[in-house]
A and B are shown apart, each in its own frame.
Chain A
Amino acid sequence: MGVLPGADEAPGSQKTERTSMLDGTEKINNRNIANVAPLRNVKLLGALIQQLQHREPDMPGMGCFHGFSGYGKSSAATYNAQVYDACWVEVKSVWSRKVFVRKVAEALGLTPAGLISDMVDQIGEELAKSGRPLLLDEAHQLCRDEMMGVVHDIYVSSHGSAMVLIGEEMLPQKLKRWERIHNRMLGWPAAQPADLRETAILARLKQPALKIGEDVLQVILEKSAANYRRIVTNLNQMKLHSLETGRDEITMADVPKIEFFVGEAPTPRRTGA
C-alpha cells in the first residue's frame, strides 16, 4: 500500500482505514443512488441468473435463491426481472398442476390451451426460443411430488433454459427429496442479512431528505436485527421524528426519543391480585 503513486496518500491513510471498516459506506454516499441495484441480495440473484445463462453446455441450468422473510428476495426478483426480461410466477399453495402450467403460459404472454402436456411443450418452446429466464417465487409451495414432476418437465422441454426457484430459508433442504431437481442445481445462493453499507443505501433510497449519522445507522441496523423490511420501517420512524422536531438531521441525541420496531412479540402481562 505504501508504494502507490500519489503524494497525498499519507493524510488519507486514516480515512481509507475508516472506509474499509464501514464496508464502502463512504463511497456509496458520494454517488447518486437511483434504484435498488446496489443492494447485495439484488446483485446475488443477478449473478445467479447470469451464471445460468452463460454456463458451459454440459452444466445444469437451475438455481435456488433462498432466505428468511424480509430479506428482500421479492425486491431482488422484481429488479432482476426488469433487467433480464424474466418470466416471473408467484406460486400459490392451492394450485393444481394444470393451474400452474396455465399461469406460467399466461406470464409468458401465450394463450394457454389444451392438455397440461400441450402447455408444457408450448412453455418449453417459448422459453428456449426467447431465451428468457423463468423465476418461480414462493417455490416451497411446489414441494409436492406431482408439481416437481411438472417443473422437471418444463426444464427438459425448454432444453435447459435458466430457471430459478425462489423461496424460504428451508427450500434447499426440502428440495433434497427430489433428486432429479436437486442434481440440476448450479448454485444455491442465500439471501444475506443487511450490513451498515446496505443500511446507508436504504436510508438514501427511502429517506433522501434526512441526514443520518453513521452511528445512528448502526443503531438502526442493530435494532432491526439486520432485517431489510424492519430497517425500512425504522427509517420511517426517523422521518416521523424529524417531522415532529422540524430538523432533518438525526444524531445520537435523538435516538432515545425514537420508538424503534424491534419485531418482538409482547411479553405476557401479569394478571390477578
Chain B
Amino acid sequence: MSGTAKTGRLPVDQATGRQELWLAIKSIPSEITVTAIVEQTGVNRTTVLRYLRALTAGEYLTATPGKPGRPNTWVLVNDVGHHAPRVRADGSPVTQGSITTQLWRAMTMLKEFDWVDLVHHASIEIPESTAKDYCKRLFAAGFLRLVVKADPSSARPARYRLIRATGPRAPQVQRVRQVYDPNTRTAHAVAGGTQ
C-alpha cells in the first residue's frame, strides 16, 4: 500500500483481501474497471484482475472487452450479499476451510460437546484426527473449557464447553503457535504448545 516493496505477505489481520475487493466491486456494480478497484483499495492490479477473472468464470460478473484504447469493463450480475464469493481461478467454489467451518458451527450450536458429537452433526465427512485436533488447539488457545476429562478406561472422550463464541467465522489454527479469530481479528497464543 505504501509503495515500498516488501517480501513475504502481511499478517492475516493486516492484509487487504478479497472481501475488500468484493465490497469495492459492489459499490460500482455497472462499470467495473481494474483501475477503479485499485483506486478504492490500493491492491495490486494483478491481484484485482485475477479476482475479476475468477468471478467472471464463476458467473458473478460479465466481462465487456473495451474498445481500442479503452479499458475492459465488468458488470455485476449475481450479487450474493456482503460476503465475497470464494472462487478458484476456474470459477468453482473453494472448499478449503469447510471442515473447520462445520466444526465451529457445531460447537456454537451444541455448546457442550465431545469430538464425536461434532462429527455426527457435520454434513461432510470429517476425519477423527482433524476433529480431535481442532478441539485440542481451541482448548489450548482458551476458546473451550474442559467439562469432563477424557477417560480411556471407560472409552469416554473429553467433553468441552464453548466459552468464547465470538461469531460465525471459524478460528484458524495457524502454523505459528497461535489461533487467529477472524470475528474479532485477534490472535490468541496457544498455551504450553509443543508441536
Chain B residues 110 to 141 lying within 8 A of chain A, measured CB to CB, are 110, 116, 119-125
Q: How far is the CA of A78 from the CA of B105 in the complex (A)?
A: 8
- Closest chain B residue to A208, Cβ basis: B116
**Known contacts A79-B121, A82-B106: does B80 contact A106 (CB below 8 Å)?**
no
B167 x A106 contact (CB < 8 A): yes
Contact status A35-B154, CB under 8 Å: no
Stretch at the interface among A124-132, A186-194, A259-267: A124-132
| Partner among A74, A82, A209 whose Cβ is within 8 Å of the Cβ of B102 | A82
State the CA gap A106–B166 with chains docked (Å).
9
Q: Please give me the residue from chain B that is nearest to A128 by CB atom.
A: B81
Cβ contacts under 8 Å, A130 to chain B: 80-83
B155 at the interface (CB under 8 A from A): yes
Cβ-defined partner of A81 (8 Å) among B81, B83, B105, B116: B105
Alpha-carbon separation in the docked complex, A87 to B102 (Å): 13
Chain A CB within 10 Å — which of B79, B119, B123, B154 has the most?
Answer: B123
| Contact between B169 and A77, CB atoms less than 8 A apart | no
Cβ of B189 within 8 Å of any chain A Cβ, yes or no, is no
Contacting residues of chain A (68-126) with chain B, CB-CB under 8 angstroms = 74-75, 77-79, 81-83, 87-88, 90, 106-110, 125-126
Is A216 located at the chain interface by the 8 A CB criterion? no
**Closest CB in chain B relative to A128 CB, distance in Å:** 8
The verdict on A243 contacting chain B, using a C-beta distance below 8 Å, is yes
Residues of A27-54 at the interface with B, using a CB-CB cut-off of 8 Å, are: 34-37
Query: A151 contacts the other chain (Cβ, under 8 Å)?
Result: no
Nearest B residue (CB) for A82: B123
Q: How far is the CB of A212 from chain B (nearest CB, A)?
A: 16
Cβ of B66 within 8 Å of any chain A Cβ, yes or no, is no
- What is the CA–CA distance of A110 and B80 in the complex, to the nearest angstrom? 13
CB pair B83–A35 under 8 Å, yes or no, is: no
Whether A35 pairs with B168 at a CB distance below 8 angstroms is: no
Query: Do A35 and B81 touch (CB < 8 A)?
Result: no
Chain B interface size band reads 20 to 34
In the complex, A75 Cα to B122 Cα: how many Å? 11
Q: How far is the CB of B17 from chain A (nearest CB, A)?
A: 14
B12 within 8 A of A: no
Contact of A88 among B109, B124, B155 (CB under 8 A): B109
A129 touches B109 (CB 8 A): no
Hey, which chain A residues are within 8 Å of B116, CB to CB?
Answer: 206
Identify which of B83, B122, B168 contacts A106 (C-beta below 8 A).
B168
Contact of B81 among A36, A37, A125 (CB under 8 A): A125
Residues on B with C-beta less than 8 A from A81 are 105, 109
- B80: which A residues are within 8 A, CB to CB? 129-131
Contact of B123 among A74, A83, A108, A109 (CB under 8 A): A83
The 8 Å CB contact of B109, one of A34, A74, A106, A125, is: A74
24 residue pairs of the A-B complex, CB under 8 angstroms, read: A75-B121, A78-B105, A78-B106, A79-B123, A82-B102, A82-B106, A82-B122, A82-B124, A87-B168, A90-B109, A106-B167, A107-B168, A108-B168, A109-B83, A109-B168, A110-B82, A126-B81, A126-B82, A129-B80, A129-B81, A130-B80, A130-B81, A206-B116, A209-B155
A209-B155, A243-B155 given; name 11 further pairs at CB < 8 Å: A36-B121, A75-B121, A81-B109, A82-B102, A82-B105, A82-B122, A82-B123, A90-B109, A109-B83, A126-B81, A130-B81
Shortest Cβ-Cβ A-B pairs, 7 listed:
A130-B81, A129-B81, A78-B109, A82-B123, A78-B121, A83-B123, A126-B81
